[in-house]
Amino acid sequence: MLALKISLIQSKMDSKILRFPLGGDVVAAAQAESKAHNQANLLAWLGTNTVVLQEPKDFILPHDKTLGYRPVHHLLIGSRYDEPLDPFWTLIYRCCKVPENRVFPMTTHVDGTRIRPYFNAGLLVTRPKRNLLQAWRDTFLRVYQTPSLQKYYQKDEQYSVFIHQAVLSGVILSTLRTDEIQELPPTYNYPVHLYEQDVTDHRPSSLEELVTFRHERFYTDPQWINKMPAKKRLKQWIDTRLH
* 71-106 b/e (C-beta count within 10 Å ≥ 16 → b): bbbbebbbbebeeebeebbebbbebbebeeebbeeb
Q: pLDDT-based confidence at 1, cuts 50/70/90?
A: low
Answer for the pair 95, 129: CB distance below 8 angstroms, yes or no: no
- Residue 222 sits in the same domain as residue 179: no
Q: pLDDT-based confidence at 175, cuts 50/70/90?
A: very high
Answer for the pair 56, 37: CB distance below 8 angstroms, yes or no: no
- Residue 142 sits in the same domain as residue 160: yes
- Residue 30 sits in the same domain as residue 132: yes
The H or E element spanning position 122 is: strand 119-126
Q: Give how many domains the chain has, as a whole number.
A: 2
6 lies in some domain: no
- Residue 114 sits in the same domain as residue 232: no
- Domain range for 133 is 16-183
pTM of the complete model beyond 0.95 = no
d(CA 16, CA 92) in angstroms, rounded, equals: 22
- Residue 101 sits in the same domain as residue 74: yes
**For the segment 36-89, what is each residue's pLDDT rounded down to a tens digit?**
998 899 999 999 999 999 999 999 999 999 999 999 999 999 999 999 999 999
**For the segment 91-106, what is each residue's pLDDT rounded down to a tens digit?**
999 999 999 999 999 9
Task: For residues 131-155, give the mean pLDDT.
Answer: 97
- Residue 198 sits in the same domain as residue 177: no
Side-chain half-sphere of 200: how many Cα atoms within 13 Å?
Answer: 20
